[in-house]
Structure 1
Amino acid sequence: MNSTPAPRPVTRRQFLGRVSAASALALAPRSLFAQAAAGRKLGVALVGLGGYSTGQLGPALRLTSHCQLTGVVTGSVEKGKKWAADYGFPETSIYDYSTMARLADNPAIDIVYVVTPNGLHAEHAIAAAQAGKHVICEKPMANTVADCDAIIAACQKAGVRLGIGYRLHYDPTHAELRRLARTQEFGPFLKMDGGFGFTMGRSQWRAQKKLAGGGPLMDLGVYVLQEALMASGEVPPVALTARELPKLRPEFFVDVEETIEWTLEFANGARATGWTSYNANRNDFRAEAKDGWYEISSAYGYKGQKAVTSRGPVTVTPPASQQALQMDAFARDVLDGTPSLVPGEMGRRDMVMVEAIYASAAAGGKRVELKF
């Protein structure tokens, strides 16, 4: 029996997305292709200079081969000036959130990376697209599927590329999982389980529903969903069930979940259980097939992944920076007109699952059928 799922028909959304990508390539300035031939790096502006930009993206942009930091968008002029001095771009390339339209006048900036709180992603990604800049939007793509649609539409209208900050797609240990899913050397993965959580020690925007959209599911659980979809060969689930666990610190997690778990159901009979929490530690994923298995610990971190299969350890050379690989890949896609591994449609897909998980948990674990 052939266990490979039959190809799904192309939906109207997918067709329009492909047409948009082709149109964007046709509209791309010829100067970009000249820049690629000349080896010129594309300029990146970071929108939001919080912990992720400071600790990960900024340092990664010192390691990239195809892009470099050429501007910032921040609410702090002093912080912007410090970044300009540290990274060697002019202070005229410092913008605030109300002046993002002026990015259109800066030819040194080709790509805008949105790294603000989740609830601001749509506003800032749309502003970047309207300024004619290619957009990377940090995960989760937005607080709602409707916001994801608005971002995709804005990028299509502007003829710019859109990618999501899914760095793990570029990590070699996760690439091995994707390869096994694609080749089905062990057969299809039919039993999957993963979890990601930590104990949040202080109040922050990630525990505020207005800015974060939810609790750990929006921040950490998206990684577990991503991993399950990698193991499925990017075939989306057909339904899911979920439940929120009782809060141990209700005074801290007032309007978001503290811990939540779910089960994804796939058309071929596969099941993927997931868990995420802001009050317990976990960082793992395992996928089992008839003829083998894959397991990874420290699965979702910036480094330190350790993967093993039923054949033995996965031996890879760890990258100096997952984020550098991710941003370089996006820059090359812009320059070469190649499809992204992590397009906006993938970010939207994941938000469909997130919304369904919340809906199922709110309905006492009711089974929710998924429509993408």
Structure 2
Amino acid sequence: MNTRRDFLQKIGASALMLKLGSISAFANVPDQIEQAYEGRVLRVAIMGLGGYGTRVAEAMKACTKAKLVGVISGTPSKIKEWQTKYNIPEKNCYNYDNFDQVKNNPDIDAIYVITPNALHHSQVIRVAKAGKHAICEKPMALNAKEGQEMLDACKKANVKLLVGYRLHFEPRTLEVIRMRNAGDFGKVMFFQGQCGFKIGDPSQWRLNKALAGGGSMMDIGIYAINGARYMVGEEPVWVTAQETKTDPVKFKEGVDETIQFQLGFPSGAVASCLSSYNINYLDRFFMSGDKGYAEMQPSTGYGPIKGRTHNGELTQPTTTHQTIQMDEMATIIFEDKKPVVPVNGEEGLKDLKIIDAIYLAVKTGEKVKLRA
């Protein structure tokens, strides 16, 4: 399909004035012609060529500020497949044993770590030592101690550490945050986050404590934690939590099936959240203030985020989350742009501290205070 730029180039200047009004009205496009991006492009290597790595790679085809240029995998056949599919040169292909050599490759700026949770810590530190910016999938690490060590390594190497919080750039999510900042909801009193589905293959790494670091909390529970923080707009000061396990064969020791947790905020607002690997159709955020409310369902999925407030349906554009995420991360890395909601390592560490507290609350049955 021709772009509007192509169309305008083909018509004469005299016809432009006659046609532009009707074209804009029909296509609902702005009068200003979109300018091609001419800035620096972030050249990215993806580490971990599984399902989500593939999703990111496909989304990056539409990026204007970021480009997939390299791969890191422990599976040679996958490397060959990706080389062909994404036109990746041999010199930009590495395995888990030799990827430290990326330090000698000036054609790669950043490495996106999309591997099992337990590998993030060591791999991000190696990326930092190689002098490359690190983008890491969430959760950033298995616990706050590991997360702090990753932050320290990146700071020491003078490289950025970013976390794959794609929803921090999602237009309808950002509209709810804008409305909250504008006072449209009044005093926020309550947040509810429900994240859950019935997980399949019992042999997958997400149900292996050594690789995942836990169960549902380390996969989808973090969405409710993060969502509570960016929707309420505060950092919690306490947490309580309770675990339910109905299938100890599938969900072995240390792999949580379902956790309910509650958060308290300095303003007096409270959050009630649920994370489950054994309950379907849970993907909903709800926030209530004394002047209005916001409801998002789906709230975290890859498909279009949908939502409404007391003012009606949210109608912001539907985007491919990973495309806008990678373009925005390019501006964060090269231009030091400050997004509305941070995606840096410090943000990832805050979530890890809360996860640590949730697991402690489950173990002790007590309210756990959170440090700033």
> Which position in structure 1 is the counterpart of 2:248?
250
Q: Deviations over 1:302-345 (max 9, x none)?
A: 122111001111111101x1011111111111121223521100
Letter of the 2:118 partner, please give it: G
Instruction: State how far apart, in whole Å, the 2-side matches of 1:70 and 1:201 are.
Output: 33
**Equivalent pairs: percent with the same residue?**
39
Contact 2:191–2:232 under 8 Å retained in 1? no
- For normalisation by structure 1, the TM-score amounts to 0.87
> Which position in structure 1 is the counterpart of 2:10?
none
> Which position in structure 2 is the counterpart of 1:269?
268
Letter of the 1:52 partner, please give it: Y
> Which position in structure 2 is the counterpart of 1:48?
48
Instruction: State how far apart, in whole Å, the 1-side matches of 2:229 and 2:312 are.
Output: 23
Contact 2:48–2:72 under 8 Å retained in 1? yes
Matches within 5 A, 1:86-235: 86-203=85-202, 204-233=204-233, 235=234
Q: Deviations over 1:212-242 (max 9, x none)?
A: 1111011001001111111122x20110100
5+ long unaligned stretches in structure 2: 1-35
User: Is 1:334 paired with 2:333?
Assistant: yes
Instruction: State how far apart, in whole Å, the 2-side matches of 1:293 and 1:37 are.
Output: 38
Q: CA deviation at 1:291?
A: 0.4
Instruction: State how far apart, in whole Å, the 1-side matches of 2:181 and 2:120 are.
Output: 32
Letter of the 1:297 partner, please give it: Q
Q: CA deviation at 1:61?
A: 1.2
Contact 2:357–2:368 under 8 Å retained in 1? yes
Q: Deviations over 1:242-282 (max 9, x none)?
A: 0001x221110012110001110011110001001000021
> Which position in structure 1 is the counterpart of 2:315?
315
Letter of the 2:246 partner, please give it: L
> Which position in structure 1 is the counterpart of 2:369?
369
Instruction: State how far apart, in whole Å, the 1-side matches of 2:62 and 2:153 are.
Output: 30
> Which position in structure 1 is the counterpart of 2:26?
none
Letter of the 2:104 partner, please give it: D
5+ long unaligned stretches in structure 1: 1-35
Contact 1:143–1:213 under 8 Å retained in 2? yes
User: Is 1:304 paired with 2:292?
Assistant: no
Letter of the 2:65 partner, please give it: H
Q: CA deviation at 1:37?
A: 8.8
Secondary structure (helix, strand or coil) at the match of 2:192 reads: strand
Secondary structure (helix, strand or coil) at the match of 2:304 reads: coil
Q: CA deviation at 1:40?
A: 4.1
Q: CA deviation at 1:91?
A: 1.3
User: Is 1:324 paired with 2:323?
Assistant: yes
Secondary structure (helix, strand or coil) at the match of 1:199 reads: coil
Secondary structure (helix, strand or coil) at the match of 2:242 reads: strand
Letter of the 1:157 partner, please give it: K
Instruction: State how far apart, in whole Å, the 1-side matches of 2:137 and 2:180 are.
Output: 25
Letter of the 1:317 partner, please give it: P
Instruction: State how far apart, in whole Å, the 2-side matches of 1:181 and 1:104 are.
Output: 44
User: Is 1:279 paired with 2:278?
Assistant: yes
Instruction: State how far apart, in whole Å, the 2-side matches of 1:337 and 1:357 are.
Output: 33
Instruction: State how far apart, in whole Å, the 1-side matches of 2:47 and 2:328 are.
Output: 19
Contact 1:81–1:91 under 8 Å retained in 2? no
Letter of the 1:348 partner, please give it: L
> Which position in structure 1 is the counterpart of 2:349?
348
Instruction: State how far apart, in whole Å, the 1-side matches of 2:216 and 2:179 are.
Output: 29
Q: CA deviation at 1:191?
A: 0.8
Instruction: State how far apart, in whole Å, the 2-side matches of 1:65 and 1:99 are.
Output: 30
Comparing 224-233 with 115-124, greater Cα deviation is found at 224-233
Letter of the 2:142 partner, please give it: N
Contact 2:37–2:64 under 8 Å retained in 1? no
Secondary structure (helix, strand or coil) at the match of 1:236 reads: coil
Letter of the 1:92 partner, please give it: K
Q: Deviations over 1:85-118 (max 9, x none)?
A: 1111211211011112111111111011000100
